[in-house]
Amino acid sequence: MVNLGGIRKEVSIELVPEAQVGDYVIVHVGHAIGMIDPEEAERTLALFGEMSAAMAATESAA
């Protein structure tokens, strides 16, 4: 079970059997395809948040 921006979704970890609860994984079409370092994951999530905020601001200005 993964948390994708607040949405919980069941994914296969067959390709990354070493994944444990609390690990960050890269998910593609229902499969965890790799693991990612926690610090890198936090930076990536922060960038996604910034992009989302920028898009929302652009849409509200239109």
Residue range 12-32, pLDDT digits in tens:
999 999 999 999 999 999 999
Q: Where are the domains of the chain?
A: 2-61
Confirm if 31 and 37 have CB atoms less than 8 A apart: no
Q: What is the pLDDT of residue 59?
A: 86
pLDDT at 4: 83
Identify the pLDDT of residue 50. Answer: 94
pLDDT digits (tens, 9 = 90+) for 40-56: 999 999 999 999 999 99
Residue 36 identity (one-letter amino acid): I
DSSP class per residue in the chain: -EEETTEEE--B-TT-TT--TT-EEEEETTEEEEEE-HHHHHHHHHHHHHHHHHHHHHHHH-
Please provide the CATH number assigned to the domain covering 2-61: 2.30.30.140
